[in-house]
């Protein structure tokens, strides 16, 4: 292969990588927006041309170091994640807060990288953090994520798993997270214990997209030609 051909091949490979990152960037922004975080529409719907101009180096390679952002919870999200007041706690604190999202520069993620990420989030008062990685976490890194859950809620997504927004697929129905009050009202209305509800696993791709936690209930709205719109409910376990 000639030097010219090699350069053309390298340039094409760089372009493919940037395009993949652009798709993952859009998906993670849509994911945060769907969870209730406030993001400007131009951030969510950024064009490939603008993305490439802002997040690549002079040689066309992606600059992951610049691909980081934070987002604040909307008023609706704060309301949904704030426990109802009680006599003992008349002004309860919300359980949600600002999220930090980072596209990790390292090709492999170990305990060292997890600790650095957690320290950054906790040191800057981020309530949650989302890591977008180039590869899978090591076994020790996964344990480290679990161990730090008391400090900050960390989620990890592989870049290649975000190339397509699964919730946009025609076979995936609409999912709506219920607040505590809505969950209690549902159980009371149907005289159910939460363990009697059908389940959705926390590791389910759609549950991961919405960041569902154990004990939360999601409303699933489907469209039927015969029944019209109908809803079912799933308990995250």
Assign 3-state DSSP to the chain and report helix, strand, coil percentages, each to 5: 45, 20, 35
Strands 217-224 and 228-236 come out as antiparallel
**pLDDT tens, residue by residue, 4-62:** 777 777 788 889 999 999 999 999 999 999 999 999 999 999 999 999 999 999 888 99
d(CA 48, CA 34): 21
Please indicate whether the domains covering 9-163 and 168-236 agree at the CATH topology level.
Answer: no
Residue 65 structure tokens: 């170091």
The larger pLDDT score, comparing residue 146 to residue 221, is at 221
Position 185 scores a pLDDT of 95
Asked if 152 and 118 count as a contact pair (C-beta separation under 8 A), the reply is yes
The answer to whether residue 66 scores a pLDDT higher than 90 is yes
Question: HSE on the CB side for 49, CA within 13 Å?
Answer: 0
Position 219 scores a pLDDT of 96
**Element containing residue 177 per DSSP (H, E):** strand 174-177
Backbone angles phi, psi at 158, to 5 degrees: -75, 140
The b/e string for 122-154 (b: 16+ C-beta within 10 A; e otherwise) is: eeeebbbbbbbbbeebeeebeebbeebeeebbb
Band (pLDDT 50/70/90 cuts) for residue 205 is very high
Q: In the chain, what is the straight-line distance between the N-terminal and C-terminal CA atoms, in Å?
A: 54
- How many CB atoms sit inside 10 A of residue 177's CB? 21
**pLDDT tens, residue by residue, 139-184:** 888 888 888 877 789 999 999 999 999 999 988 899 999 999 999 9
Q: Which CATH architecture has domain 168-236?
A: Alpha-Beta Complex (3.90)
| 219 three-state secondary structure | strand
**pLDDT tens, residue by residue, 179-192:** 999 999 999 999 99
With a CB cutoff of 8 Å and minimum separation 6, the contacts of 78 are: 94, 96
Position 84 scores a pLDDT of 86
d(CA 39, CA 30): 9
Over residues 110-117, mean pLDDT: 92
Query: Given phi > 0 = left and psi -120 to 50 = alpha, else beta, which region is 161?
Result: alpha
| H helices present in 71-137, as ranges | 75-80, 111-123
Band (pLDDT 50/70/90 cuts) for residue 236 is very high
d(CA 34, CA 97): 15
Sequence spans of domains, the chain: 9-163, 168-236
Q: Would you identify the CATH topology of the domain 9-163?
A: 3.40.1340
d(CA 9, CA 230): 51
Share of the chain above pLDDT 70, in %: 99
Q: What size, in residues, is the chain?
A: 237
């Amino acid at each position: 292969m000639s030097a010219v051909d090699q350069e053309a091949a390298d340039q094409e490979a760089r372009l493919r990588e940037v395009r993949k990152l652009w798709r993952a960037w859009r998906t993670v922004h849509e994911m945060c927006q769907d969870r209730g975080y406030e993001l400007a529409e131009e951030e969510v719907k950024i064009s490939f041309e603008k993305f490439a101009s802002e997040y690549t180096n002079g040689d066309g390679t992606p600059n992951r170091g610049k691909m980081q952002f934070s987002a604040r919870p909307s008023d609706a999200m704060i309301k949904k994640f704030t426990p109802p007041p009680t006599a003992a706690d008349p002004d309860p604190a919300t359980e949600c807060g600002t999220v930090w999202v980072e596209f990790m520069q390292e090709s492999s993620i170990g305990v060292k990288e997890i600790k650095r990420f957690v320290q950054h989030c906790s040191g800057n008062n981020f309530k949650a953090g989302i890591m977008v990685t180039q590869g899978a976490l090591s076994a020790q890194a996964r344990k480290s994520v679990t161990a730090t859950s008391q400090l900050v809620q960390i989620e990890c997504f592989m870049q290649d798993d975000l190339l397509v927004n699964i919730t946009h697929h025609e076979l995936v129905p609409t999912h709506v997270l219920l607040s505590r009050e809505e969950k209690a009202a549902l159980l009371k209305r149907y005289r159910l214990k939460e363990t009697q509800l059908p389940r959705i696993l926390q590791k389910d791709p759609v549950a991961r997209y919405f960041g569902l936690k154990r004990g939360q209930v999601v409303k699933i709205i489907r469209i039927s030609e015969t029944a019209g719109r109908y809803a079912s409910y799933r308990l995250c376990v």
